Chain A
């Protein structure tokens, strides 16, 4: 600190920062990106290990043999389902009761803000069925949840069959210390959300549902299963939940343990685990998985019903049975045994899962990157914003210093003392851009009926198109605002605005990176260069193009292409555009139905901030 309070040395330091600003910025940005890419390589990735003592050392012997029973349950379920066209509630109740569970149902209904075209639903009403296996001689203070979501199509009946067969097997055992809730939800995630809200007696999303008749204490962990064939070639595990929340790493370790024990082929993001980490191939494959995970997590949507449990601090993950063209297949017994083992070990838990990491990235199923190692990547990127802001601050405040900072043209003219920075001139652009963000957030859903009356579009289309229209209309704003802005020394005006915008952006990205690293990193990697470069002088069309290409919506579009590319299913331009429109609609819907925060975050936070940079670019 002595270095900074000594004016002479301080001035020297300031001069250094100013002179080396551009190289430092470039260096910092490159370091951030390079750090991120290096995350998949061994010194930064570590082997996962079980931290929880209660689950680590004890061995369990799986005894599940009900494969035939599961298949016959699945057949019956599918038949009843076809007959009734909806979830066969009565049949499920009867069957659950016959295997010895305490059965309850819950009906719910929800009118979506606008029709969901991907899932073809608007006015949704359904019934969840759940059965509670009461642990013998325990007082129902703790429970585990095994859930199977059923969508509108008749997939997942094998999962229901396996659930019932496992319930029958579990019911005959004496060792349970926690109640087990077997939950079958209708309308997949909507049903799960309705059940969770009713279980915790809260109303987060405006769901209407009947109160639950039976409860089983505090839920300690949950496992969701999606299976749609009698045999599987591999099991895929999904961890990313709502708003990028992740379950405790120990739960994933537990799954991996039983994958290894049962000799199951387990995948993460649909990718097999690389075997060889010493050569370049392994880490490169790991990097693909890591990128997929970052994209999935950044989207903030629940990738399976487990994602909704995380809000209630219930550690949860989703297992998906994949049936591909691979030769070797596993039957339901193998999957059932893995699940039995997991539940028996979860039953041993004395405390909630808390020992292992909650914030991590996964380049492979058995490798992870901890928060301490991946945070510097965002740190370096945000440092660029800090350095640029510091430069602007000094140029605004320390007249004369800017003059000998490399003799650059433009902003380096000596400026009058600091009092001249009219903060009032910043109020108008800030207010206008925030108002634009608010309009982006509120208008599409509010004005859908007006839009459908005046234009030949459906409600869902109307929402997406209004969204895009307002987004693009924001670009026309500078012409409106610069008239409002009072006459100031032109350079001083835009510099102050850019300074505010930089700090605003850095704060937002920092906060996002803390809660959802992936989203923070993706946005930082795209927005930082354009934000740093933008100024009203120099090659304006180039800056404008760069700024447009790195706007949040463009990032979303780019992410979609990258995602499909990594999944080895590349998109054509037209498909990409369709997917983009669908993603916009889904994003808005998920905000209203599950409380996903990505849409309000982009509309109310990052989009106005990005507009400020657009303002800076077209400053006159």
Chain B
């Protein structure tokens, strides 16, 4: 899971109509929650979600104009503390109270996976959508690694993970909860022990499987008051085996193939590991102009056969103005690997266009995969307002499938790069000199020289020669 998604800081500005809520939502509200998922490998994943809503006087007029839809990626940007601080400042309680006290940079960046996001969108307040409120949703996911953070131990607690415990909810929050995934351990209570024992549990279908969560409500006074603080502890009674992790139904991999600095190939492997269901995937690729794509080389093969996409949208690049945009709807057969490959040629940049570290290579942004993945268990339609926030990360559309958006890894491509140093100048100079010398030498070698006597004498000599010719004597 850790490496399947890029760490590009992706800010999505979604202007789509948020699902029209039936009841008028409260005017200002904050909901916060933390989901802790112990993984079979002994690692543990923690996902924070904060949702702030406030009413706005802005009026909506008609549908969203897609002319204003923008998509941008900074594939080079690695998330760091610089991104965390302003992100925390957006929270109503900052990092003073509630779940956000756990957000300590030195612990969060001591993890093996880190992803941070900000989503903002307008939400209709009534069915006719005459007034809207804004929703700001901030999510942060980290995976604590048993090998790095845990120093080999696989028992976790809030203190061990964040070096903090929970003492109070954020006073502004209308809901503040901690969920612990106990799905695999609730059947036989022997493997994992959660301490303190949960008072309530919550069941739902997440990512196509039925899951059970232990719920700790911070607004419940009893939860905190018993011990002054809440330090959730996870203890493995039987240490988990080191086994290969479960593979999700849809995952992808992207790489550059070929070698040398002239040509290459972008390949994306799409894995559908579902045993019997095929499903379509929308693949969006945005490739910088300096990789000149050869669209005729676009090949899509699954199970050794050509796979014709049902929809292709291609917008060619313009040098220095806009990147290539390639969007395809591809049907992934059940239990298959689909390879999408397209060849490219590396362009020569102008020498001022190179980055300060040209030998590092140039980044190609990740492909984006959007799909409705069939689920194993049919889910009931739920009321979004009542269910936990994490439920809406992978929204269920019609009960039989759930929506997933995946980002592949960004790519690093080397372009032909001049050696911006002394030898480069020397080579240029030498080549010039050699070119000049070559020209002259070639000229000399291919031409024969004859000495031509200058014509002396002029008119008198010509006259004399005429006379001599008439007399039959050789001319002068």
A residues neighboring B (CB under 8 Å): 1, 4-5, 7-8, 10, 94, 97-98, 100, 102-103, 134, 136-142, 171-174, 200-202, 214-215, 217-218, 311-313, 350-352, 354, 393, 397, 418
State whether B112 touches A200 (Cβ < 8 A).
no
How many angstroms from the CA of A215 to the CA of B244 in the assembled complex?
17
Contacts of A217 in B (CB 8 A): 255, 409, 411-412
- B151 within 8 Å of A (CB atoms): yes
Known: A140-B3, A354-B359. A100 touches B409 (CB 8 A): no
Q: Please report the C-alpha to C-alpha distance between residue A138 and residue B112 in the assembled complex, in whole angstroms.
A: 9
B279 lies within 8 A of chain A by Cβ: no
Q: Report if B145 contacts A (CB, 8 A).
A: yes
- Interface-facing stretch out of B30-38, B231-239, B256-264, B387-395: B256-264
Instruction: Report yes or no: A218 in contact with B414, Cβ–Cβ below 8 A.
Output: yes
Q: Please, how many angstroms separate the alpha-carbon atoms of A142 and B411 in the complex? A: 9
Beta-carbon contact of B412 and A98 below 8 Å: no
Interchain CA distance A137-B109 in the complex, whole Å: 8
- Chain B residues with Cβ below 8 Å from A138 are 7, 78
Q: How far is the CB of A258 from chain B (nearest CB, A)?
A: 23
Any chain A CB within 8 A of the CB of B444? yes
- Are B8 and A139 touching (Cβ within 8 A)? yes
Instruction: Assess whether A215 is in contact with B361, with CB atoms less than 8 Å apart.
Output: no
Known: A138-B7, A200-B258, A313-B414. Contact between A215 and B449, CB under 8 A?
Answer: no
13 residue pairs from A and B, CB less than 8 Å apart = A1-B444, A97-B242, A136-B113, A137-B7, A137-B109, A139-B3, A139-B6, A172-B147, A174-B148, A200-B259, A313-B259, A352-B359, A397-B448
Residue B208 CB within 8 A of the other chain: no
Q: Give the size range of B's interface with the partner.
A: 35 or more
Whether A202 touches B253, Cβ cut-off 8 Å, given contacts A217-B412, A354-B419, is no
Instruction: Pick the 9 closest A-B CB pairs, nearest first.
Output: A201-B257, A351-B359, A100-B147, A136-B112, A7-B449, A351-B360, A218-B412, A141-B412, A354-B359
Whether A137 contacts B113 by the Cβ 8 Å rule is: yes
**Cβ of B414 and Cβ of A352 under 8 Å apart?**
yes
**A321 CB to closest chain B CB, in angstroms?**
28
**Chain B positions within 8 Å of A7 at CB level:** 449-451
Cβ of A141 and Cβ of B148 under 8 Å apart? no
Q: In whole angstroms, what is the CA distance A102 to B243 when docked? A: 10
User: B382 within 8 Å of A by Cβ?
Assistant: no
Q: Which of B114, B148, B259, B449 is in CB contact (< 8 Å) with A311?
A: B259
**Chain B neighbourhood of A311, CB < 8 A:** 259
Q: Does B111 touch A at the CB level, under 8 Å?
A: yes
The A/B interface has a contact count, at CB < 8 Å, of 106
Q: CB-CB contacts of B402-417 with A at 8 A, as 1s and 0s? A: 0000000111111000
Interchain CB contact (< 8 A) of A312 among B147, B243, B259, B445 = B259
Contact: A172 with B148, CB < 8 Å?
yes
- Flag whether B134 is at the interface (Cβ < 8 A): no
Question: What per-residue 1/0 map shows which CB atoms of B360-396 lie under 8 Å from chain A?
Answer: 1101000000000000000000000000000000000
Q: Does B79 touch A at the CB level, under 8 Å?
A: yes
Q: Is B217 part of the binding interface, using a Cβ–Cβ cutoff of 8 Å? A: no
Which residue of chain A has the shortest Cβ distance to B108 in the bound complex? A137
Give Cα A352 to B419, complex, Å. Answer: 12
Chain B residues positioned under 8 Å from A4 (CB to CB): 440, 444
- Inter-subunit contact B147/A171 (CB<8 Å): yes
Main secondary structure of the interface of B (DSSP, over half): loop
Interface contacts beyond A136-B111, A142-B412: sample of 4 additional A-B pairs, CB < 8 Å, sorted by A:
A100-B147, A136-B112, A136-B113, A202-B258
Complex Cα distance A98/B449, Å?
82
Given A5-B449, A134-B2, A172-B147, A139 and B112 touching (CB < 8 A)?
no
A137 and B112 alpha carbons, distance in the complex (Å): 5
In the docked arrangement, what's the CA distance between A138 and B7, Å? 7
Known: A136-B148, A137-B111, A313-B414. A218 touches B244 (CB 8 A): no
Q: Inside 8 A of A200's CB, which chain B residues have their CB?
A: 257-259
B110 within 8 A of A: yes
Interface presence of B357 (CB below 8 A): yes
* A137 close to B148 (CB less than 8 A): no
Out of B8, B258, B359, B444, which one reaches A201, CB within 8 Å? B258
- Do the beta carbons of B444 and A139 come within 8 Å of each other? no
Q: A351-B360, A352-B359 are in contact. Are A134 and B3 (CB under 8 A)?
A: yes
B186 within 8 A of A: no
Contact, CB under 8 Å: B361 / A218:
yes
Q: Across the interface, do B267 and A201 meet the contact criterion of CB distance under 8 Å?
A: yes
Which B residues are CB-close (under 8 A) to A352? Answer: 359-361, 414
Interface check B155, CB cutoff 8 A? no
Residues of chain B lying within 8 A (CB to CB) of residue A172: 147-148, 151-152
Which residues of the partner chain B approach A98 to less than 8 Å between Cβ atoms? 242
CB-defined contacts of A136 to chain B, threshold 8 Å: 111-113, 145, 148
B60-94 interface (Cβ within 8 A of A): 75, 78-79
Q: Which residues of B contact A350 (CB under 8 A)?
A: 357, 360
- Whether B113 and A141, one on each chain, are in contact in the complex, defined by CB atoms closer than 8 angstroms, is no
Does B265 count as interface, using CB distance less than 8 angstroms? Answer: yes
Q: Is the CB of B409 within 8 A of A140?
A: yes
**Min distance, Cβ A316 to any Cβ of chain B, angstroms:** 14
Which A residue's beta carbon lies closest to that of B366? A139
CB closest chain-A residue, reference B363: A141
- Chain A residues contacting B3 (CB-CB under 8 Å) are 102, 134, 139-140
Q: Which residue of A lies closest to B260 (CB)?
A: A313
Say how far A612's CB is from chain B's closest CB, in angstroms: 21
Cα distance A113–B358 in the bound complex, in angstroms: 42
CA distance A100 to B151 in the complex (A): 12
Complex Cα distance, B8 from A103, in Å, reads: 25
Q: How far is the CB of A308 from chain B (nearest CB, A)?
A: 11
Q: Which residues of B contact A313 (CB under 8 A)?
A: 259, 414
Q: Closest residue to B265 on the A side, CB-wise?
A: A201
Which residue of chain A lies nearest to B439 when distances are taken between CB atoms in the complex?
A1
Is the beta-carbon distance between A215 and B109 smaller than 8 angstroms? no
> Which residue on A lies nearest to B413, using beta carbons?
A218
> How many whole Å from B346's CB to the nearest CB in chain A?
13
- Distance A217 CA – B7 CA, assembled complex (angstroms): 14
Q: Pick the contact of B114: A1, A137, A351 (CB < 8 A).
A: A137
Considering only CB atoms, which chain A residue lies closest to B147 in the complex? A100
Give bound CA distance, A5 to B449, whole Å.
8
CB neighbours (8 Å) of A215 from chain B are: 253, 255
- From B147, B242, B361, residue with most partner A Cβ within 10 Å: B147
Assembled-state Cα–Cα distance A134/B143 (Å): 13
- Alpha-carbon gap, A399 to B21, bound state (A): 103
Which of B6, B111, B359 has the most chain A CB within a 10 Å cutoff?
B359
Min C-beta distance of B199 to chain A, whole Å: 35
B325 to chain A, nearest CB (A): 22
Q: Which residues of A are found within 8 Å of B75, using beta-carbon distances?
A: 139
Please report the C-alpha to C-alpha distance between residue A84 and residue B84 in the assembled complex, in whole angstroms: 52
CA distance A356 to B451 in the complex (A): 54
Residues of B within 8 A of A97 (CB): 242-244
- Chain B, Cβ-Cβ closest to A141: B412
**Scoring B residues 263 to 288 as 1 if CB is less than 8 Å from chain A, else 0, what string do you get?**
00101000000000000000000000
User: In the complex, what distance in Å separates the CA atom of A173 from the CA atom of B149?
Assistant: 9
Residues of A contacting B147 in the complex (Cβ-Cβ under 8 angstroms): 100, 171-172
Chain A neighbourhood of B243, CB < 8 A = 97
A174 vs B151: C-alpha distance when bound (angstroms)? 11
- The answer to whether B419 and A141 have CB atoms under 8 Å apart is no
CB nearest to B339 among chain A residues = A211
Which residues of B in the span 153-175 have a Cβ within 8 Å of any Cβ on A? none
Considering the chains assembled together, what is the distance between the CA atoms of A349 and B8 in angstroms? 20
List which B396-445 residues lie within 8 A (CB) of chain A: 409-414, 419, 440, 444-445
Could you say which residues of chain A place their CB within 8 Å of the CB of B413?
218
Query: Which single residue of chain A is at the shortest CB-CB distance from B7?
Result: A139
Residues of A within 8 A of B440 (CB): 1, 4
State in angstroms the CA–CA spacing of A218 and B146 once bound together.
27
Binary CB contact string for chain B from 42 to 75 against chain A (1 if under 8 A, 0 otherwise): 0000000000000000000000000000000001
Please give, as numbers and ranges, the residues of chain B lying within 8 Å of A134 by CB-CB distance: 2-3, 112
Bound-complex Cα distance A76 to B7 (A): 39
Q: How far is the CA of A103 from the CA of B242 in the complex (A)?
A: 12
Q: Are A141 and B414 in contact (CB under 8 A)?
A: no
